[in-house]
Amino acid sequence: MSLKIYYWNCASGLLRKIDYIRELIKQDNVDLFFVAESEIRYDCDFGCLSLTGYDIVAANTINSRGKARLICFKKQGFSKVEGLNEFNDALIFQLGNVSVAGIYRGFKLFEGESESSNFLRLIGDLNKLDPNRELVVVGDFNLDQNKKEGILHRELNDWVLEKGLSILKLGITRARLVTGTLQESELDLVITNTIKLKVDREFNAMSDHCVVKTCLPKFKSVDKIRKEIEFVDWNFDVAKANEFLKQSLQSKPIMFEKVEESNYQIMASLQDTLSKFVRRRTLVIRNADQVISPLIQKLKNRKNRLQKVWLKERNAISWVNFIRSSRELKKEVRKVRNNQIKNRLGKGSKEFWAQVNQLMGKENLILDKIVENGNEISDKTVISNSFINFFTSKINRILGDYEPSEIPRLPGEITLFNQKDIDKAFQRLSNKKSVGMDNLSGFFLKLLKPTLLPYFEKLFNLILVDNSVPTTWKIARITPVFKKGCKTNVGDYRPVSNLN
């Protein structure tokens, strides 16, 4: 999708020109339309300006001065940046990875204020723009780009260079007759840090300013700049963990007389060891889809450096160097991605289908609503209870009149387990299986095997002799898996259990 941002200094008389604005917004499907010199008073009925599907936002001056010289027609979904100076006609919005600012700097100054202090106050608001986003600043700075002299021009250019931005060349944006002489100027500016932005102008008879049109193609409305991933850090001192577990087990004398109590004491010691030595950490990454290698990082740094040179020099040589570096970077990223995909496809059936689903854009289902008896339900607790009732009734129908009884004893003499048998069972534990309700993975249990072997030997033999299984071993995490049909229908899911 593309993002369309328009700016127009309507030269006052907004109410007489509202039909033109509405028609232009509908015709071009504009996302943000800034209108300067709107002179909207605080007691104005905004209903006369309304447009279906758009909100009308006024600059903070509507409160401090009693009227706003800048308003914006914005589509729903944009978030407004708060905390801007109450004496500035400025509005900043964010959507996804883009920040958009609309400004108007008039000639009127407050008492005791100079043009320089007035301008720096406006720059203070623009400094609230997030430099990690794609930035688009549109507005009338009342600085003619045909006359680049004076302290304000220098301050604007210094700010643009400091932030790594660029002032796009628009040409004449205002034309008017002054005492019979045509006066042309470049007052309306577009400042950005992206080379993708397209700009255009449209003159009309309703104002001496043209409508400045900008379009940002291939815009992503979902913010994927930063992402937090929680992961388990399995790097811990195995010897110390075994020693801690051993002391914990010895401090709780286990009699091995009852299955439930014996299992509880062993599991409690394991949980203490897990919480002490295995940490859950949060990793913040800039882009979940980034592919990073030393060569890619090197090419990326080179591209960023050449981009800054081009933004500063603005000549053909710097432009060609920047484009070449961008192409080299894309070529290397494509090469590394292809190699990664080939490696993943060749590892096994599980990795193969995981990669295929990723390439097809299939993601894990996040069920946020269901439909029951024609009513839409979004409460998570009610959704969970609906699945529980459905799965329980399904299992009851399968079981029928069957009453689960004690585990039948095998005829003959019972052969007890020894540590060699337990060791073989440990070796068969998979490192990749997901954990159950106890959060104890096979990888973690294998590392603690030297300490656990004698205790598990006694526990399993007690289970065999007592002919019972600990209750916690029967508890499973049930995950509804969509089969086919309607995703909001509970009946179109099957239960998959994950035992401890």
Note the pLDDT of residue 102: 93
C-alpha to C-alpha distance for 194 and 219, rounded to whole angstroms:
12
Q: Are the C-beta atoms of 203 and 172 separated by less than 8 Å? A: no
Q: Are the C-beta atoms of 142 and 165 separated by less than 8 Å? A: no
What 3-state DSSP class applies to 305?
helix
Note the pLDDT of residue 6: 94
pTM of the model: 0.47
Mean pLDDT of 49-55: 86
Range 392-414 burial, b when 16+ CB lie within 10 A, else e:
eeeeeeeeeeeeeeeeeeeeeee
Strands 32-41 and 3-9: parallel
C-alpha to C-alpha distance for 492 and 488, rounded to whole angstroms:
8
Helices 238-250 and 259-277, packing angle to 10 deg: 140
C-alpha to C-alpha distance for 470 and 85, rounded to whole angstroms:
65
DSSP-derived secondary structure letter, 209 = B
pLDDT digits (tens, 9 = 90+) for 170-185: 778 887 777 777 778 8
DSSP-derived secondary structure letter, 405 = -
Note the pLDDT of residue 24: 92
What single string gives the DSSP state of each residue in 232-279?
EE----HHHHHHHHHHHHHTS----S-HHHHHHHHHHHHHHHHHHH-E
pLDDT digits (tens, 9 = 90+) for 210-230: 899 999 886 555 444 444 555
Nearest to 21 by CA among 71, 65, 60, 61: 71
Q: Are the C-beta atoms of 44 and 14 separated by less than 8 Å? A: no
The residue behind tokens 């045909």 is 146
Mean pLDDT of 410-421: 80
What 3-state DSSP class applies to 76?
coil
Mean pLDDT of 68-94: 87
Residue 144: half-sphere exposure toward Cβ, Cα within 13 Å:
10
Long-range own/partner contacts, residues 312-321 (CB < 8 A, 24 or more apart): 312/161, 314/166
Q: Which CATH number is 3-216 given?
A: 3.60.10.10
**In the chain, % of residues over pLDDT 90:** 12
Note the pLDDT of residue 136: 92
pLDDT averaged over every residue in the chain:
80
In the structure, what pLDDT confidence band is assigned to residue 438 with cuts at 50, 70 and 90?
A: confident
Q: Are the C-beta atoms of 218 and 196 separated by less than 8 Å? A: yes
pLDDT digits (tens, 9 = 90+) for 300-358: 888 888 888 888 888 888 888 888 888 888 888 787 777 766 665 655 666 666 666 66
Note the pLDDT of residue 130: 78
| Top-confidence range, 143-147, 185-189, 358-362 | 185-189
Residue 401 pLDDT exceeds 60:
yes
Note the pLDDT of residue 229: 52
In terms of pLDDT, which residue wins out, 481 or 40?
481
Note the pLDDT of residue 455: 92
pLDDT digits (tens, 9 = 90+) for 258-304: 888 888 889 889 988 888 888 766 554 444 444 556 677 778 888 88
| Top-confidence range, 55-59, 285-289, 473-477 | 55-59
List the alpha helices (DSSP H) in 428-486.
442-447, 449-466
Mean pLDDT of 29-48: 81
DSSP-derived secondary structure letter, 443 = H
Note the pLDDT of residue 43: 65
Mean pLDDT of 100-105: 90
Domain ranges of the chain: 3-216, 233-284+367-499, 294-359
List the alpha helices (DSSP H) in 346-372.
349-359
In the structure, what pLDDT confidence band is assigned to residue 412 with cuts at 50, 70 and 90?
A: low
* Residue-level length of the chain: 500
Show the tokens assigned to 6. 């328009």
Q: Are the C-beta atoms of 312 and 161 separated by less than 8 Å? A: yes
Note the pLDDT of residue 101: 93
Mean pLDDT of 66-86: 85
Residues 6+ apart with CB under 8 A from 125: 84, 85, 88, 90, 92, 101, 103
Q: Are the C-beta atoms of 165 and 314 separated by less than 8 Å? A: no
Backbone angles phi, psi at 54, to 5 degrees: -130, 145
In terms of pLDDT, which residue wins out, 38 or 42?
38
pLDDT digits (tens, 9 = 90+) for 148-162: 556 777 788 888 877
Q: Are the C-beta atoms of 225 and 286 separated by less than 8 Å? A: yes
Amino acid at 80: K
Q: Tell me how far CA of residue 394 lies from CA of 172, 371, 451, 469, 488, in angstroms.
A: 73, 19, 42, 25, 18
Show the tokens assigned to 191. 């400042």
| Top-confidence range, 14-18, 28-32, 39-43, 128-132 | 28-32
